[in-house]
Amino acid sequence: MMPAQLPEVSSSFGEIPEITFPDTPAPKGLHIKVLEKGTGPTVTAGRELQANYHGMIWGGNVFDSSFQRGTPATFPIGVGAVIAGWDQGIVGKNVGSRLLISIPPEKGYGPNGQPAAGIGGTDTLVFVVDLVGVR
């Protein structure tokens, strides 16, 4: 089985991600690629995670970016407070890591999507996430 074709990211931890999509349909299932491995503490479920992220629809537009706002987001991880693809893709990784996460609709916003953000019910979401800290 061939590995999933994931977008290329041409920037480093702390920089606004530059994402180039392959000329292929979005892969099925949840895919996590560690772009840079951090050396900080391991992210565990129930902790408050501080992260910078850049969210795009597969092959499309940015729908949300803490990088563009200039301040990281803080939220509980691994407890259902965020979409399942984040809970499953981030727990177990190290602070200081940069991740590329491809999230299918069923682990994102589901069949209803998130219309206010321009996300449809069949959209695969792609995030570049910098794990800044946990508390």
pLDDT digits (tens, 9 = 90+) for 84-122: 999 999 999 999 999 999 999 999 999 999 999 999 999
Distance CA 132, CA 130 (A): 6
Torsion, Cα of 130, 90, 33, 9 (10° steps): -20
Using CB atoms within 10 Å of the CB of residue 129, give its burial: 0 to 12 exposed, 13 to 18 middle, 19+ buried: buried
- What's the rounded Cα separation, in Å, for the pair 52 and 75? 11
User: pTM for the whole thing?
Assistant: 0.95
pLDDT score at 4: 79
Q: pLDDT-based confidence at 49, cuts 50/70/90?
A: very high
Residue 1 has pLDDT above 80, yes or no: no
